[in-house]
Structure 1
Amino acid sequence: MRSRVEAPPKQQEARVRLECTVSLANSGTSLEVLFDLLFWTGGQKIADDLWAQACYEAARALARNALPALTERLLGTALMPTPPIELHIASGKQDQPSLENTLNTNFLGHRTGTGILRRGADYLPDGLVATGDLPQAVTEVLRNIALDWRYLHPHLPVVHD
C-alpha cells in the first residue's frame, strides 16, 4: 500500500526538507532507513523553534519508534546498539539550494561569513543517543550545523521531549 501527501496546488515542491537516516547492516546485507519531514512554507520563513523541534521529532521517530521495531523484525532482536544516525537539513527545491529565504536563522546570532546557506548535516552523538538524551543530541547536531554555517555563538531553542 502506498500513501501520498499532496502538495499545495500553487507550490509543487517543498521548501525545506529534514531527513534523519540510519543504515542497518547484518550478514553482508544492509538497509537504509529514512525518516523525512517536508515543509511547504507558503513564502514564509519557518520559525526557529518549529524547525528545531521538527529536527528532534524526526530523530525521535527514527530512534525510539522505527529502529527497535525494524531491528526486531529484520535481525531478530531490538537489543542492539543504535547505529549512527545522521540528520540533514536541505532545501526541498532542487534548483534553489539556499535555505536563507525559508529558515528563520535570527536566533543563531551574528553570522561571521558570507555566501548562501546550503544544506547542513551531522551525526547525532553516539553517547547521548545511547543514554536516551535525544534532545541534547539534536541540539549538538544543530549547533554543529550552525557552526558550519558560520554562526560562531548559536543560541538554540530548547527542544522538548
Structure 2
Amino acid sequence: MRYKEIFLQENTLITSKTDTKGNITYCNADFIKYSKMTEKELLGQPHNIIRHPYMPKVAFKALWDTIKTKNEFFAFVCNLNKEKETYWVFANVTPSLDNDGNIVGYYSVRRKPSAHGIKTLSEIYKQLNKIEKDKNLSESEKFLVDFLQSNNIQWNKLMIELQNTKNM
C-alpha cells in the first residue's frame, strides 16, 4: 500500500507523556495536528497507535531496552496518522522519575527530522524489516548491533549525527 507523505514544519514540537506501559497521558496540539486524532482519541491509548507498519520491531525493542534503564533514546521514526498519511519525526524519549528515582512514565519530544537522516535510516530500516520478515527479531537485533559495532558508533550518537548533518 502506498501512503501519502506529509512533512513537519520547522518549528514543530510534538510532545507527549505516557505511563510506564506506553499509554498516552498527555498530548500537545502538534501531536493532535499531525496524528489527525482528537485528544480524546489519543488519551489512554498505547503510543503505538501511530506506529507505521514500515517501522522495524527492533527499533522499538531498542527504545524499550534503553528507556527502562533510565536512559534517553533518540530515533528517526516513521508514523502513520488516522488519515493514513506518513510523517517522519526525530524523536527523543526520556524516562520521567519520581523523587526516589523510580520510573513513573515517559516524556517524548518529536521534531522535524533531517532529510539525510530519513534517507539513511530508510535504507537501514528496509534491511531490518527484511531480516525480521525472513528470519526473526533476534536476527534483526544482531544485524543492528553488528552494524553499530562495525561503524564504531552507539545508536544515540548515530541518530544525533544524522539529525545534525545537513543534506548531502
Q: TM-score, normalised by structure 1?
A: 0.22
More helix by share: 2
Q: TM-score, normalised by structure 2?
A: 0.22
Computing the radius of gyration over CA atoms, which structure comes out larger, 1 or 2?
1
